[in-house]
Amino acid sequence: MKKLILMGRSESGKTTLKQALLREKIQYCKTQYIHYDDLLIDTPGEYAQTHRLGYALALYAYEADVVGLLVAATESYTLFPPNITCMVNRDVIGIVTKINEPKANLPLARLWLRNAGCRDIFFVDSTTGEGVDGLLEYLNRPKKSEENATEKH
């Protein structure tokens, strides 16, 4: 599985998504520092919301195969500026969380992630599991370097 780093503002659903992807029991847990393991890197929202802490996100992005930009469908604004994905030489995907909340605005969340530069966008509800399998399927696809190696043989 490709290693994924989750980035987004506080309460966008990063840790809940991490728990869903790892098939853990869903429970609220405020991420106080970067949680780094073999498959996922979970980051505190404050790192994305605070300019100087954002540099740490840039460094940790190089430890991952895929950067996941999270936007909750209930958010009233986005942290991600247009074309931010060009700053990283990794695949960058968009992940819209909280898709079944009453005030969810899926088209707006999709627009923000498209403007940020995300080509692939996944819509998930981590508590029900909706969309999680599609994201796991994407992460389990061979890495581009592995695909090229198998094509040469």
pLDDT at 32: 63
pLDDT tens-digit map of 65-116: 999 999 999 999 998 888 888 878 889 999 999 999 999 999 999 999 999 9
- Does residue 124 lie in a domain region? yes
- Does residue 150 lie in a domain region? no
pLDDT at 54: 66
Could you tell me the pTM of the whole model? 0.86
- Does residue 128 lie in a domain region? yes
- Does residue 153 lie in a domain region? no
pLDDT at 152: 46
Rounded to whole angstroms, how far apart are CA atoms 96 and 58? 21
- Does residue 82 lie in a domain region? yes
Which of 45, 38, 46, 32 shows the shortest CA–CA distance to 6?
45
Number of domains observed in the structure of the chain:
1
- Does residue 20 lie in a domain region? yes
CATH number of the domain to which 127 belongs: 3.40.50.300
DSSP readout, 96-114?
EE-TTSTT--HHHHHHHHH
Write out the two tokens for 44: 């505190």
Q: Residue 69 belongs to what domain range?
A: 4-141
Q: What is the mean pLDDT of residues 18-22?
A: 91
pLDDT(150) > 80: no
- Does residue 149 lie in a domain region? no
Percent of the chain exceeding pLDDT 70 equals 83
- Does residue 148 lie in a domain region? no
